[in-house]
Structure 1
Amino acid sequence: MGGDDLDLNAAEKILQPRRRPAQQRSRAKYSRILAAARSVLVDMGFESFTFDEVAKRAEVPIGTLYQFFANKYVLICELDREDTADTVAELQRFADQVPALQWPDILDELIDHLADMWRADPSRRAVWHAVQSTPATRATAAATEQPVLALLAEVLRPLAPNASRNERLTIAGLLVHTMVSLLNYSVHDEHMTDHMFHATVDEIKRMLIAYLFAVATS
């Protein structure tokens, strides 16, 4: 079994890099590796994803990748952390505007922004699919998304004042997974026109805003 294969005995462990760089030069190399990994994932798919190709595109020795990542599953989970950090930043901007009487308009803007991110960067969809591939990557993705759920649960507090935190976390999880699945659907066809894409996003908004109205009035 090669170095890119998952240790099944560690299937329930959270996958973390062996180390993250501290110095500027190493951070630049690390960023180059992550960017190269995204391009390989988009071009070749997860099944054909190899450290050899990532190292080639990043223009680093393959040993450099192993200094940071034990295998490709750990690397994919690091890409997922990058994507989640972007989502957290956008949700925080959203959270800063809630509570507000115009919260459906704010949610409308949030979904537009996330949809544009999803369409502009095909690697987000590729990473999302890749982290579904094993128990360990799924467990790691679930741990990675916890700040998103916690932030969204706080956003929901004024909309669901009678709900407990656990109930709001459940609602947040449903929202996040529904939104991501539907955004994935909205870009599943590379030949989709702008009109078709925006029409699909409009339907996503309709569904999620209707759900939140139901939460707010229950």
Structure 2
Amino acid sequence: MTQLRKHPRQNRSRAKVAGILAAAADIVSGRGLEAVTTNAVAARAGISIGSLYQYFPHKAALLAALIRDERANLLEAVERIVSSDAALNLSDLVDELIEATVAHYLARPALSRTLNLARTQLPPDPAAAEFSARITVLIAARLDELKVERPETTAQDILAILHGMIDAASEAHEGDRSALADRTRRAVMGYLQVAA
């Protein structure tokens, strides 16, 4: 079970959970997956282990919550893009999606790499399928408005290109966001021209 033991309802409780996740993210980024223990996270967050266990019964629940948190941040960015005036045409939409995805994954590349590894070690999370479906639906709806054929398939393919190229760049410790965004844009636009 990788869900929270209890969900924070009050502001103070939400702040405590946010602090726990920030501490876990710092440890993951700085020292890797093996360094993440409930004791280390509690110490880093400045709380007792009992307080941490109120929300996270074990390391897997902590990592799953971190992954969900990261996904939620990316979903929020995509929601802003598809509902804004910045994505008035296909080229602008692609640029905005690439910029947001590159910025998201390379903001804390060690965290992204380690959470990608953690995903393979955790039990399947139904929230992951919901996240993928939601982000695909958002992009597909915008593509449909832009009169792109087969918008859902195209949205899935664009996401696959983005994630594949950005994950590979992250694994290779690439830090040049501009070069990565440029290569990714060429790949997505090339795919879109062939698909058209």
Runs of 5+ in structure 1 lacking a partner?
Answer: 1-9
Match of residue 75, structure 1, among 62, 70, 86: 62
% identical aligned pairs: 29
Q: Give the distance between the partners of 2:161 and 2:118, measured in 1 at CA.
A: 18
The yes-or-no answer on 1:180 pairing with 2:181 is: no
Aligned pairs (5 A) from 1:2-81: 15-81=2-68
Structure number with the higher helix fraction is 2
Q: Is the 8 A contact 1:186 1:201 kept in 2?
A: no
Aligned pairs (5 A) from 1:139-158: 139-158=126-145
Q: Give the distance between the partners of 2:149 and 2:104, measured in 1 at CA.
A: 33
Q: Is the 8 A contact 2:20 2:42 kept in 1?
A: yes
Deviation at 1:202, TM superposition (A): 0.9
Match of residue 122, structure 2, among 123, 134, 141: 134
Deviation at 1:68, TM superposition (A): 1.0
Q: Which runs of 4 or more aligned residues in structure 1 lie more than 6 Å from their structure 2 counterparts after TM superposition?
A: none
Letter in 2 for 1:64: S
Deviation at 1:118, TM superposition (A): 1.9
Report what 1:202 is aligned to: 182
Count of matched residue pairs:
194
Indicate how the Cα distance of structure 1 residues 126 and 21 shifts in structure 2: closer, same or farther if over 3 A, else same. Answer: same
**Aligned to 2:33, what secondary structure does the other structure show?**
coil
TM value normalised by structure 1? 0.76
TM value normalised by structure 2? 0.83
Q: Give the distance between the partners of 2:77 and 2:51, measured in 1 at CA.
A: 32
Q: Give the distance between the partners of 2:164 and 2:119, measured in 1 at CA.
A: 13
RMSD: 2.5
